[in-house]
Chain A
Amino acid sequence: MADTRATGIRIEGLRKRYGAGETAVDALRGVDLQVAPGEVVGLIGPSGSGKSTLLKCLGAVIEPSGGRMTLGDEVIYDDGWKIRDLRALRRDKIGFVFQAPYLIPFLDATDNVALLPMLAGVPDREARERAHEVLAALDVDHRARAMPAQLSGGEQQRVSIARALVNRPPVILADEPTAPLDSERALAVIRILEKMAGQYQTAIVVVTHDEKIIPTFERIYHIRDGRTHEEAGEGLRP
């Protein structure tokens, strides 16, 4: 399994242009970014700088316009390729953590997590076993049968992280995961992500505005006008 995530994320010269002709917007103008398996990096930048666009390209929601993108052991995009099945790519290679937990309200915690392996064709029993394992790793297995509305905000966020992890994707993308949380809880989420990155050898990108957590990243990518600049952060661990 280790070799399937050998690369983590490697992005070289990624470009994205919205529209065409006079009104075209170049949202990404050559982004370079690399995240090793087990590493959590921050991605920050002012509004309109291209964070969301980068996240959508990385998350296989939209196709880039140029450059090269490798996830895990696979080059998924190389200058001008047409990505055949974005949906399957998202399902198999990428875990998402959102600003709000966005759990499916009519499924209990276990099934919210188990849904992902089920969508990939894993039998229900096995999918639930896997879900339970990840919920246990995140210390919410005692709430396994609770509906999302019965969970506290922190529990919901952990269930949503479990959902991102359960298919063991080489990449997890977190979009402002701490925005609504106070600093103690925000730090807790980052700690969980760090721990899970190590445990599952996943490359994690956290897009954030959140001043509270910015210092916690060991490496930070700044994005400005569609271009990235890398800098070292303080890191969570001493």
Chain B
Amino acid sequence: MISLAGRDIRHAWGKFVFTGVGLGLLIGVTLTMAGVYRGMVDDAKVLLDNSRADLWVVQQDTLGPYAEPSSLPDDLYRGILGMPGVARAANVTYLTMQVGHGDRDVRAMVVGVVPGGPGEPGQPGYLIAGRHITRSHYEAVADAASGLALGDRIRIRRNHYLVVGLTRRMVSSGGDPMVFIPLKDAQEAQFLKDNDAIVQQRRRTAANPAFNRPSVPGLLEAVIASQNTNSSVNAVLVQVRPGESPEEVAAAIRRWKRLEVYTRAQMEEILIGKLIATSARQIGMFLVILAIVSAAIVAFIIYTLTLGKIREIAVLKLLGTRNRTIAGMILQQALALGVLGFVVGKIAATFWAPAFPKYVLLVPGDAARGFVAVVVICVLSSILAIRAALRVDPAEAIGG
């Protein structure tokens, strides 16, 4: 038995290919939307991986440092270092802001880290060029996605920094590339006031008799100095000793000071379950709408193709073709359209994914699920056309 569906497609291949490519672009967008979500999840995981921490110590009752603001004294890490089971602990600050470069600026997450070896928690991981930060001021390591190059001078608030190293896949959960600078500079940047404000504050402090006591020399200077330094960090990143359970160390730190301590698993839950949950629902909405639009297109096309063949269908029926054969022909055409669309969509998505500003991760599992969805949509949307075809009376071929 010849394939009626195949012959019809071959005969009207222009229309078919045109529709298939259109559908394919739509499927490509759908796959890309899924890839955007996967990219966000992966960025979050990479963010956690690359911070090389087992525990995140943050301000009590906050979901810091990524999902909520968190502030801790910067000497706290010493106490944590002394806790049993703790191998390393390091201060870190995070501040998302515009980083100036020449006459333009890039949005980046500025990370303040203690200059140190690459094994320290919080340090940029793998460098693709240059070196790590070694001086405690005015050096930076930037993620390549920022577009910065080695030797570039960048401006963060009032200070200039030299890009000494480049890293990759270090982005915030919002997709902004990271720029690492020494902790002290970052603390200052977080707290920095403009000159007028500093002068004003000095004047107010000097006018306050509680601080300006001639009988206590040096008090006013000390107060002013303390007002203009920032001794806060956003989190302390902790590595536990090999063989130690992160949960137990976390429990010990929680008992010791009234602090919030998150393990890697909890941090992942915060990032994926809370921080990008709204974006995920947003993408979910898009997926639903795209699925409906694709279904409508397949249904419409298959229905029109079928209506265009009503007379042939009546003749086929009169000649003794089974309903099953006719339904099969329509179903096969819908499936062929879906498969063509899927192939075009997969290729398109693979082709354009790297051009997206944020990371788009195309997971084979999503492609497989997408394929199943396409098949289901094609089957469902051919029902309309099949019903129309089965209603055709073979007597129509004979006429009145």
Q: Interface on A for B, CB 8 Å cutoff?
A: 52, 55-56, 59, 61-62, 87-88, 90-92, 96, 98-99, 102, 104-107, 111, 114-116, 118-120, 124, 147, 163, 175
Contacts and interface: CB of A to CB of B under 8 A. Distances in A.
A90 B316 CA distance: 11
Chain B binding surface, main DSSP class: helix
B8 to A, nearest CB: 4
B321 interface: yes
B395 A62 contact: yes
Contact of B320 (A52, A90, A98): A90
8 contacts: A52-B399, A90-B318, A98-B397, A105-B312, A118-B1, A119-B1, A119-B322, A120-B320
B398 interface: yes
Contacts of B210: none
B395 A61 contact: yes
Contact of B395 (A56, A88, A111, A124): A56
B158 interface: no
Contacts of B318: 59, 61, 90, 96
Contacts of A88: 320
A106 B320 contact: no
Given A118-B2, A124-B2, A87 B320 contact: yes
A59 B318 CA distance: 9
B313 to A, nearest CB: 10
Given A102-B311, A105-B11, 8 more contacts: A55-B398, A62-B395, A87-B317, A90-B320, A91-B319, A96-B398, A104-B312, A120-B320
Of listed B311, B317, B395, B398, residue having the most chain A CB within 10 A: B398
Interface in B258-317: 311-312, 315-317
B320 A175 contact: no
A53 to B, nearest CB: 10
Contact of B398 (A91, A120, A163, A175): A175
A168 to B, nearest CB: 14
B199 interface: no
Interface in B14-67: none
B307 to A, nearest CB: 15
Nearest to B314: A102
Interface of B: 1-2, 4, 7-8, 10-12, 311-312, 315-322, 325, 394-395, 397-400
B398 A106 contact: no
Given A52-B399, A96-B397, A105-B312, A116 B320 contact: yes
Contacts of A87: 317, 320, 322
Contacts of B7: 106-107, 111
B10 A106 contact: yes
A125 to B, nearest CB: 12
B2 A102 contact: no
Given A61-B394, A61-B395, A90 B2 contact: no
Contacts of B394: 61, 90
A8 B400 CA distance: 25
B8 A106 contact: yes
B1 A56 contact: no
A52 B319 contact: no
Contacts of A105: 11, 312
A59 B315 CA distance: 13
A98 B321 CA distance: 17
Contacts of B321: 119
A124 B1 contact: yes
Of listed A91, A102, A111, A120, residue having the most chain B CB within 10 A: A102
Q: Which 7 A-B pairs have the closest CB atoms?
A: A91-B320, A106-B11, A106-B8, A106-B7, A61-B395, A102-B315, A90-B320
A116 B321 CA distance: 8
A156 B33 CA distance: 52
Of listed A87, A102, A106, A111, residue having the most chain B CB within 10 A: A106
A91 B320 CA distance: 5
A119 B398 CA distance: 20
B398 A61 contact: yes
Nearest to B1: A118
Contacts of B10: 106
A115 B398 contact: no
A235 to B, nearest CB: 27
Given A91-B320, A107-B2, A52 B400 contact: yes
A146 to B, nearest CB: 13
Contacts of B397: 96, 98, 102
B288 to A, nearest CB: 36
Given A61-B394, A96-B319, A111 B399 contact: no
B320 A119 contact: yes
